Amino acid sequence: MQIRIPQYIGLCWIGVVFITTGCNSTTSIVKPTAPVPTALVDAAQEVQNTFAPDSRVAHFQAYFQPNGTRWVLKGETNLPAAKSALLQNIAQLGIAMIDSLQLLPNITVGEKTWAMANNAVINLRYKPEHAAEMATQVLLGQLVQVLKAENYWYWVQTPDGYLAWVEGGALHRLTESGKKQYEAAPKIVYLRPFGFSFSQPDERSEPVSDLTAGNILIVTGEEGMFFRVNYPDGRMGFVSKTDVMAYDLWQTQTRATSVSLVETARRLMGVPYLWGGTSAKGVDCSGFTKTIYAINGLMLQRDASQQAREGILVDETGNFAKLQPGDLLFFGKKATPNSRERVIHVGMWIGEGRFIHSSSRVQINSMVPEQPDYSAYEHGRYLYSRRMLGHVPGVRLSVPAMSQ
């Protein structure tokens, strides 16, 4: 999956806001009343480059307006350290400043600054509307931080740090104390690619909802071969013990290996391609690799271009003998004197010259011309491979520390 960034990032002159979407920039221009001192522009740009170089996962919008002999710092950020650094830089410049830079979460969300996905999979979008492009997905039971509200939509940050909008009905919102209670409650994680919870401890009873791998539910009891579980919105259901694992055990005992990653990937064969998808219901290329690793207890970043900065480099010449099953292969366009590298696809090595990836559907192709599933197209745009095992963090329920 490639970059689509709707957030505001940065400001160079009064009244000129640069909005970055994908690889293009547009400007919304208001007639300036005074030029912003270059030193202020440089201070804001330095903070942005340091704390929010990737606006998919870090939000920093800062701009300046004149107020008599002083300047007013406006905008918003979800990074307290970025705001502190900017104010310190401005103080060192000796420029009189009124601080109106808003920290997120803002007052529009009240005390309920956390939320849980309320369905097996919920869709997050780049704009607060159903017709907007899908950015990513969050699974049942995962926590997101709620940053601001617009009508019945919420701008949230996901456990992998992604920033996007979600319709309010898909969420169950929580206060800080509610979040802590949820984190402390006994939970199970669903491990089958697809399935259901039921209204009775009997798979012939009426389903409560569908489930997919990675879903998390609070356990409230046991009946025979079923766990009794609670949904975030208060629904109750029963889940077969054979389909789940205690969440604490899964976190502490799951050990991702080359074998387990390949086994997981093959269980998703044929799952359709879905732009923005990160679940067994539908995946884009990076959503597929992210899902494989997540089921095995490891957290990858959301997009291919982000994953391409994780792990360690194992090959950049096409020497596939260096690869181990589970290594990620990145595809795209190499850098030239006039353009930067573009990572636009990712797959996972499974051995014997083959890799598995989401392209139209989850499928296997080969890098060996003599093999029947050889893909000359993918071979031709291969960039390099990176190893994630031993080099990426474990799955977490809530957002990363960088935003807190």
User: What are the residue numbers of the active site?
Assistant: 285, 345, 357
In the block, tokens 């190499």 appear at 334
Instruction: Give the end-to-end CA distance of the chain in Å, rounded to a whole number.
Output: 26
Residue 212 CA to residue 13 CA, distance in Å, equals 48
Measured distance CA(375)–CA(365) in Å, rounded: 6
The rounded distance, in Å, linking the Cα atoms of 220 and 373 is: 48
Q: Which residue has the tokens 């830089």?
A: 89
Integer CA distances (angstroms), 332 to 49, 176, 344, 355, in order: 25, 42, 5, 16
Which secondary-structure segment (H or E) carries 230?
strand 226-230
Beta strands in 53-120 (DSSP E): 60-67, 70-77, 97-99, 102-103, 114-117
How far, in Å, are 153, 176, 208, 239 from residue 234 at the CA level?
21, 19, 12, 15
User: Which amino acid, 76?
Assistant: E
